[in-house]
């Protein structure tokens, strides 16, 4: 989007003039070797990611929580099958991922502990940024401590454009950024928007969940020029996809900046694991694609894939990136190994989708993504079903108000 490119360039020039344009400072470490072994199908360790041992006291406490009185019959053997984790690809327990973390820890401990702008950015971080940029078909990428901080960093950097271009005064109303956000976006996006609203750098418009005609009417009646639309790619509480092709059409019509949080799609969706943008073939029409490294990648951290000028702006103005310690080297080494494995063991991705189809055929529910949501209604019904599931050996966390609206308590099965 030419308009946004010009705005980012102007913001960067303003930062440069004030000597506030930062960059990461590379600490040189010997690059990690490629993992020694990958596998043609599931192995026993894959079970480690979906099975946990719970001691009897904890289990009693879980059962007793929420006012439910537990009883003798509540004694289960303590081994639970997890349906509440986000480790879609079962990569967290992969030998290559473990080995990479161990090796890096032995060689470097946790690595230099500081913000990436001070001393926390190493050859390992750079390598992972490069492979994520390639995966997301973007020019560049920035690693962040978490997916949450990636979202707030993007929002504060966006908001800073209004301040930087308003020559030292509070941005006038027509200089603010109009952020259009899906009603069911993740808390990290919402908090990021709240921050920039508080700074009077942006005005937020919340459109009804996936309602493109509502978004269209909000966009057409908004006189602010600097428009941004932000959406999750898969909504974690409903398990449905953002309508990316329709958003791309609206982007063409209005010239807004499109920001997608692909936290649940990275490695999971698309032929190469490029996420929901790859699934819909619209990577080139998404300006900023961010995500989490704690879900499909099975490790920890967040990333922002974008153009180099955007990266420069975010690392100079994204407060949750600047003022936070960078990811430890063993974690980054494990992310590097996980991405490598996901390219080699493509059966992992197809297995997820086989499971989705199998679950749909068993339950006859209309299921479209690997986040399966079963709405049970009242909190009491959810707590009682949760207890029943626990006693049957399944850990499926109920999601209740205020996270979801009253009377729509549900199970999120991942
Ligand atoms: C859509 C979405 N965005 C961002 C996040 C935050 O990611 P992280 O756990 O890496 O902070 C989550 C995690 O729950 C999420 O579901």
Ligand 1 pocket check: which of 233, 242, 263, 276 to mutate, most ligand atoms within 8 Å of Cβ? 263
- For residue 396, how far is its CA from the centre of ligand 1 (angstroms)? 18
- How much distance in Å is there from the Cα of 292 to the middle of ligand 1? 6
- Partners of 137 in beta bridges: none
Q: What is the pLDDT of residue 73?
A: 56
Closest CA to 42 of 82, 84, 100, 94: 94
What average pLDDT does the chain have? 94
Q: What b/e string do you get for 292-325 counting C-beta neighbours within 10 Å, with b at 16 or more?
A: bbbbbbbbbbbbbbbbebbbbbbbbbbebbbebe
- Report the predicted TM-score, pTM, of the whole model to 2 decimal places: 0.95
Q: How confident is the model over 189-196, as a mean pLDDT?
A: 98
Q: Is the CB of 235 within 6 Å of ligand 1?
A: no
The percent of residues above 90 in pLDDT, for the chain, comes to: 80
User: Can you give the pLDDT at residue 84?
Assistant: 85
Indicate if 97-344 has the same CATH topology as 48-92+346-413: no
Res. 180: pLDDT tops 80: yes
Calculate mean pLDDT across residues 183-202: 97
pLDDT at 62: 77
Q: Which residue has a Cα nearest atom 15 of ligand 1? A: 263
Neighbours of 69 (CB within 10 A): 7
For residue range 372-391, what is the model confidence (pLDDT) as tens digits? Answer: 999 999 999 998 898 888 88
pLDDT at 72: 57
Q: Is 302 close to ligand 1, i.e. is its CB under 6 Å away?
A: yes
Q: Where are the domains of the chain?
A: 48-92+346-413, 97-344
ipTM: 0.99
pLDDT digits (tens, 9 = 90+) for 36-64: 889 999 998 898 888 988 888 888 787 77
Other C-beta atoms lying within 10 Å of the C-beta of residue 187: 11
- Packing angle of the helix pair 187-198, 147-164 (nearest 10 deg): 20
148 lines ligand 1 (CB under 6 A): yes
What Cα–Cα distance (Å) separates residue 368 from each residue in 82, 234, 239? Answer: 21, 10, 8
Closest CA to 86 of 264, 322, 253, 280: 264
Stated as kind and residue range, the H or E segment containing 97 is: helix 95-108
For 72-119, write each residue's pLDDT tens digit: 555 566 788 998 889 999 999 999 999 999 999 999 999 999 999 999
Q: Is the CB of 188 under 6 A from ligand 1?
A: yes
| CA–centroid distance, residue 371 to ligand 1 (Å) | 14
Instruction: Provide the pLDDT for residue 71.
Output: 61
Q: What's the gap in Å between 148 CA and the centre of ligand 1? A: 6
- Digit-coded pLDDT (tens) for 1-15: 778 999 999 999 999
pLDDT value of position 75: 58
As a whole number of angstroms, the distance between CA 39 and CA 47 comes to 15
How do residues 293-344 score in pLDDT, each as one tens digit? Answer: 999 999 999 999 999 999 999 999 999 999 999 999 999 999 999 999 999 9
350-359 residue pLDDT tens: 999 999 999 9
d(CA 347, CA 124): 26
Say how many Å lie between the CA of residue 18 and the centre of ligand 1: 34
CATH topology of domain 48-92+346-413: 3.90.1150
With b meaning 16 or more CB within 10 Å and e meaning fewer, what string describes 357-368? eeeeeeeeeebe
How is domain 97-344 classified at the CATH fold level?
3.40.640
């Amino acid at each position: 989007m030419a308009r946004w490119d010009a705005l980012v360039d102007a913001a960067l020039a303003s930062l440069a003039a004030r000597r506030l344009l930062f960059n990461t400072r590379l600490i040189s470490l010997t690059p990690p070797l490629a993992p020694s072994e990958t596998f043609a199908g599931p192995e026993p360790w894959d079970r480690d990611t979906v099975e946990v041992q719970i001691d009897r006291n904890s289990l009693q406490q879980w059962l007793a929580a929420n006012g439910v009185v537990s009883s003798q019959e509540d004694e289960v053997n303590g081994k639970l099958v997890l349906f509440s984790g986000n480790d879609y690809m079962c990569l967290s327990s992969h030998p290559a991922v473990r080995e990479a973390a161990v090796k890096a820890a032995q060689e470097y401990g946790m690595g230099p502990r500081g913000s990436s702008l001070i001393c926390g950015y190493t050859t390992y971080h750079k390598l992972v940024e490069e492979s994520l940029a390639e995966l997301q078909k973007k020019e560049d990428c920035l690693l962040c401590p978490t997916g949450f901080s990636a979202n707030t960093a993007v929002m504060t950097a966006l908001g800073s454009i209004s301040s930087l271009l308003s020559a030292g005064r509070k941005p006038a109303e027509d200089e603010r950024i109009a952020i259009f956000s899906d009603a069911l976006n993740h808390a990290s996006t919402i908090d990021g928007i709240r921050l920039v609203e508080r700074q009077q750098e942006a005005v937020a418009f919340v459109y009804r969940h996936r309602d493109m005609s509502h978004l269209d009417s909000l966009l057409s009646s908004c006189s602010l020029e600097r428009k941004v639309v932000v959406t999750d790619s898969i909504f974690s509480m409903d398990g449905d996809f953002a309508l990316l092709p329709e958003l791309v059409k609206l982007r063409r019509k209005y010239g807004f900046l499109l920001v997608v949080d692909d936290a649940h799609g990275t490695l999971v969706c698309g032929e190469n694991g490029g996420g929901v943008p790859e699934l819909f073939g619209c990577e080139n029409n998404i300006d900023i694609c961010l995500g989490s490294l704690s879900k499909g990648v099975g490790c920890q951290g967040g990333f922002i894939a974008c153009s180099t000028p955007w990266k420069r702006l975010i690392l100079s103005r994204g407060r949750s990136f600047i003022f936070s310690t960078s990811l430890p080297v063993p974690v980054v080494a494990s992310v590097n190994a996980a991405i490598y494995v996901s390219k080699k063991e493509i059966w992992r991705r197809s297995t997820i989708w086989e499971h989705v189809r199998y679950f749909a055929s068993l339950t006859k529910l209309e299921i479209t993504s690997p986040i399966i949501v079963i709405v049970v209604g009242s909190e009491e019904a959810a707590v009682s079903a949760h207890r029943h599931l626990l006693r049957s050996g399944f850990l499926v966390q109920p999601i209740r108000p205020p996270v979801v609206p009253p009377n729509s308590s549900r199970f999120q099965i991942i």
